[in-house]
Amino acid sequence: MTRLSRRRRLAAAVMALAAVAAGACSPASDDPADGTYLVWDPYPQFDDDSEWVTLLENCGTSAGVTAERIGYDTTDLTNKALLAAQQGNSPDVLIVDNPVVSTLAEAGALTTTDETGLDVSNMAANLLGAGQREGRTYGVPIGANTLALYYNQDLLAAAGVDPAAITDWTSLTAALAEVTAIGKKGITFSAIGTEEGSFQFLPWFWGSGADLTNLDSPQAESALALWTGWLNRGYAPNSVINNTQTTSWQEFATGEYAFGENGTWQLTNAEKLDFAYGIIAIPASTGGAAPAPTGGEFVSIPVQEDTGRYATSKQLVSCLTSADNLLTTDSTLSYVAPVAELQEQQVAADPRLKVWVEAVRAARGRTGDDLGTRYPRISEQLWTAVQAALSGAMTPREALAAAQAAATTS
């Protein structure tokens, strides 16, 4: 890519985010000293005494430099990364949510692993796919999380439901019927009109056999009809329309619901529940585990005017994604490792992770199949359709037809 072409792409990407970028401040460091390497991450919740920051500092020490870290909110980080690339003062290492990689790659803001020599040969293909575009790879996954179904063992026992017998949509819906028949509540999830809503709907959408390039297929309609039917029968509460993943968890934590769709990140909270819980994979329509979307970040090396910095940046990335350090992400970032051998070691150390490893292995990147930067537009139409159907404003068929039309023309 020529320098002029790259600048044009960056300018277009920044203009697309102009409403947000107008309030963004300039990067924290315009010209870091040779011995200081700037790392931006999306973990502002971690302070300087956290395990995560200690890991970053240790990787800097191993590379013979000082790793200077700044944590930003995920959305803010994307805007700042694009602006910094346009201004020519990107950080040396950038850690971003996996769907963002395509946006930054298309804008010419990231190097490829071929350019920097990063080794991704042992990474799980389904996780690596989220950081690939047009056959090129733009970073290394640092770990993954995804979705599954938490269940209340006491409620299922009272209803005579065996969680091991829940293997498809029919058996799950039958379990909800049994639970509500004894006066209890069925299932809670997040269907809010944001990316969280799409994220939670995707296992059911993909589990039906639907594809994101064809939002109004019969398979997609069956997935939305499933959710709509649950609300109409009282198996799920109307509150799901406004639920975030956090408020959905809070509903499940009351002990009033048999099931709650949520992620790996709730394991610590699950240990604080006042009732016994279990976890099963989200079932696909006709059986087996549904492909849930992958969460988690990629560690990438942004484009630099001084390409001589890449060698040290590569050392930092290689350290953060080394086998030993990937194993620590289950405690530092609550992630499943992106390498099969390491996943087995995680399960051996903590059997609770078994269902999550299985879910991650069946998971799918939201920007995979070369959707790239088209995904955010498709996702917006998907969550809009879910909202329209669950609120009763449209039938599932009408809502998805409108979504497909809008996604095609936007």
Distances 277 to 64, 187, 261 between C-alpha atoms, Å: 46, 14, 13
Residue 36 has pLDDT above 90, yes or no: yes
User: Which structure tokens are listed for 299?
Assistant: 């560690």
Largest distance between two CA atoms of the chain: 68
pLDDT, residue 352, reads: 87
Give 3-state DSSP helix, strand, coil % of the chain, rounded to 5: 50, 15, 35
Average pLDDT over residues 129-133: 91
| 52-66 average pLDDT score | 96
Percentage of the chain beyond pLDDT 70 is 90
Indicate the residue type of 373. Answer: T
pTM: 0.84
- Going by pLDDT thresholds of 50, 70 and 90, the confidence category of residue 58 is very high
Average pLDDT over residues 216-244: 98
Burial (CB < 10 A; 0-12, 13-18, 19+), residue 4, is: exposed
Where does CATH 3.40.190.10 sit in the chain?
3-141+297-334, 147-293+369-409
Which regions of 2-86 does DSSP assign to beta strands (E)? 36-41, 66-71
Architecture of domain 3-141+297-334: 3-Layer(aba) Sandwich (3.40)
- Residues in a beta bridge with 110: 302
pLDDT at 10 over 70: no
Total residue length of the chain:
410
Is 90 exceeded by the pLDDT of residue 75?
A: no
Query: Which pair of structure tokens corresponds to residue 324?
Result: 């030993």
Q: Nearest to residue 187, comparing CAs of 51, 113, 283, 287?
A: 283
Q: Does domain 147-293+369-409 have CATH number 3.90.1300.10?
A: no
Q: What is the pLDDT of residue 372?
A: 86
Q: Please tell me whether residue 357 adopts helix, strand or coil conformation.
A: helix
Question: Which pLDDT tens digit goes with each residue over 258-317?
Answer: 999 999 989 989 999 999 999 999 999 999 999 999 999 999 999 999 999 999 999 999
Side-by-side strand order, sheet with 185-188? 185-188, 257-263, 147-152, 277-280
What average pLDDT does range 145-160 have in this prediction?
97
Give the mean pLDDT of 39-61. Answer: 94
Cβ atoms of 234 and 253 within 8 Å: the answer is no
Determine the pLDDT at residue 26: 32
Q: Distance (Å, rounded) from C-alpha 91 to C-alpha 32?
A: 9
Percent of the chain surpassing pLDDT 90: 83
pLDDT band at 329 (very low <50, low <70, confident <90, very high): low
Sign for the CA dihedral angle at 383, 389, 392, 397 comes to positive
pLDDT of amino acid 334: 77
Local confidence band at 74 (pLDDT 50, 70, 90 cut-offs) = confident
Residue 370 has pLDDT above 80, yes or no: no
- For residue 254, name the pLDDT band (cuts at 50, 70, 90): very high
Distance CA 386, CA 312 (A): 46
**CA Rg value for the chain:** 22
